[in-house]
Amino acid sequence: MKKSSSISRSERFARKVSADVAQFTESISFDWRLWEYDILGSIAHATMLQKVGLLSKKELRAIIRGFDAIGKEIAAGKFKWNPALEDVHMNIETELTRRVPASGKPHTGRSRNDQADLDIGAKLHTGRSRNDQVALDMRLWLRDEIVLLLGEIADLQRALVTLGKKNSDVLIPGYTHLQRAQPVYLAHHLLAYVEMLERDCERLWDCHSRVNVCPLGSGAIAGSTLPLDRVFVAKLLGFVDANGKPQLTQNSMDAVSDRDFAVEFCAAAALLAVHISRLAEDLILWASTEFSFIKIADAYTTGSSIMPQKKNPDIAELARGKSGRVIGNLVALLTLLKGLPMTYNRDLQEDKERLFDTADTVRATTRLMAAMLRNTKINRAACAAAASDPAMLVTDLADYLFQQFLTPRTEAVAHELLYADQYAKNFDPKAKFDPATGKTNHPIELPTEAQEDDLLCPPHQIQASLERFKADRSVFKSEKEFLKRQGTEAVQNYYRFWLKRYGVNEGICRAKTRAYLRMRPYHKLLETTLKSCMTKHGISEINSQKFKMHAYNNTVFAQDFFAEVSKKGCAAPKEDVIGHTLLLLNKKKGD
């Protein structure tokens, strides 16, 4: 009887699964997007296995070369995903196993089965389960998604501030119960959303701290008897706090079944979506003929299939509608988790589509809302006409009466307010008011223009709020935190260097940048050691290609170089030493 060829099924099963079952259980159709994080996590795991003696240096080099080739194929869209292998993890691991046999070279003329017991690629799964591997990949992916979302929220904040700044003198009615209440400055209204978004940023950074915890090494449920170095892996992958302390999960059973971090992100994203939905609702009302406060550019509106006069604010309407989708994803995740026994269950495969969709939706919505606001104009005349409604000054009138008489008779004030419309329209400054009788019998001085500014939200306060976001906080909290975690301008330039030179996916660029931050203190050491070894071995000039050949062929020159680097205190993995020495050589060429 033919046995299953699927590694995920193992040799325990005598038959392959049916086509319907394979289609029902596969997740490669959506979890393929974790590929870069799966490769990064696998390289870190392999590096750790070599460090603790479970892989040789030669095997590690072969594995890394195999991953590099696979990663380039995936990035170029040339990799063939196989649904029979269920998910991204098995697809990549199986391909690595096929490509990297015991010799470290591709298979040539020998069947896969002949080499099954010799393949180096298969050793990669040593000390690791798909359970902790999935948890790791999701955390790596979400960690980067949060940072990207924070940047997009900051951009939406900028768009709101810019619109408010350009129209800082525009008054509009403020509403309660969708009824005109009191006049406010347009900028004041827009800045309310900036504050909401700032709280969203704070929640997301708080969530980030709990996402940024390394679960690798937890195994399927109870860890491993192998001498795994979890701290080393956490440092390689950047799972450290602001002080550089490694962040590790403390309970293996919790680590493989925990999806709190996903729920927490979806909850923060749902609240962000609600805030954007509220903003969208205001914009939809303001763009209507009944309000006509704003005009949205044609590029961000649509027409009607039958009514040529229509100009519909579809972007804002979809932003409002998509909040329900994001809230639904949160409820779906909570429902998914509520009845699960410990620990990992296949139900958890259903978490990814909800998580991916939430991140995609809020990021796209945030970006488009920012772009739409930058292409929105204020109808000053319509705003001024609406804000001139005298009935909206009733509260200010009540405050004035209290200031005039200190202990006003409630019925007297109520009487004046009850007829506020007529009072405001037919006000006679020579009339007199007797607080004892509640009748008008002495002059009332209405607030001056300066006093009205104080009764409203005054321009100087609006200006101060605008400047707080524009000048004093030239970058928002989220961006400051991003720069703090990502490093200096030099590090940002290094990140862009990878994007420009290799066109690598952003996730890999960030991983390389984190490696750069770890290696940066050793750059001078690498340069001086390289020069001394060149002098010792009579080498007058060396380029990156020659150095690579020396390093990977383990020449006497390379042995001396690595020995000296290690002796002088650089404890980084050999692959990092090679990579950053090559970087230094390439930079000298002006690459």
Alpha carbons 347 and 355: distance in angstroms, whole number: 14
Same domain, 155 and 43: no
Q: What percentage of the chain carries pLDDT values higher than 90?
A: 50
CATH code for the domain in which residue 141 is found:
1.20.200.10
pLDDT above 80: residue 79: yes
Q: What does the pLDDT read at residue 514?
A: 61
Residue 215 is assigned to a structural domain of this protein: yes
Same domain, 281 and 172: yes
Q: What percentage of the chain carries pLDDT values higher than 70?
A: 72
Of 125, 140, 169, the one marking the end of a domain is 125
Query: Binning pLDDT at 50, 70 and 90, where does residue 457 land?
Result: low
Q: What is the pTM of this model?
A: 0.72
Same domain, 337 and 257: yes
User: 478, 505, 104: which is closest to 268 by C-alpha?
Assistant: 478
Catalytic residue among 10, 111, 177, 474: 177
Same domain, 210 and 351: yes
Same domain, 537 and 398: no
Residue 354 is assigned to a structural domain of this protein: yes
Query: Binning pLDDT at 50, 70 and 90, where does residue 487 land?
Result: very low
> Is-contact 280 289, C-beta < 8 A?
no
* Burial label, 449 (beta-carbon count in 10 A; 0-12, 13-18, 19+): exposed
Residue 3 is assigned to a structural domain of this protein: no
Same domain, 378 and 415: no
Same domain, 197 and 335: yes
Query: Exposed e or buried b for every residue in 169-178, given b needs 16+ CB within 10 A?
Result: ebbbbbeeee
pLDDT above 90: residue 483: no
Alpha carbons 203 and 472: distance in angstroms, whole number: 22
For the stretch 106-139, pLDDT in tens is 443 333 334 334 478 788 889 999 999 999 999 9
Provide the pairing of β-strand 179-185 with 171-176.
Answer: antiparallel
Q: Give me 578's structure tokens.
A: 């090679």
The total of structural domains in the chain comes to 4
Same domain, 159 and 308: yes
> Is-contact 28 91, C-beta < 8 A?
yes
Query: Binning pLDDT at 50, 70 and 90, where does residue 353 land?
Result: very high
442 included as an active-site residue: no
Same domain, 99 and 173: no
Residue 467 is assigned to a structural domain of this protein: no
Same domain, 115 and 252: no
Catalytic residue among 288, 304, 388, 532: 304
Alpha carbons 519 and 235: distance in angstroms, whole number: 12
Residue 399 is assigned to a structural domain of this protein: yes
Q: What does the pLDDT read at residue 515?
A: 64
CATH code for the domain in which residue 70 is found:
1.10.275.10
Residue 450 is assigned to a structural domain of this protein: yes
304 included as an active-site residue: yes
Alpha carbons 261 and 139: distance in angstroms, whole number: 8
Same domain, 261 and 301: yes
Alpha carbons 237 and 235: distance in angstroms, whole number: 5
More confident residue, 363 or 574: 363
Residue 525's domain comprises 506-588
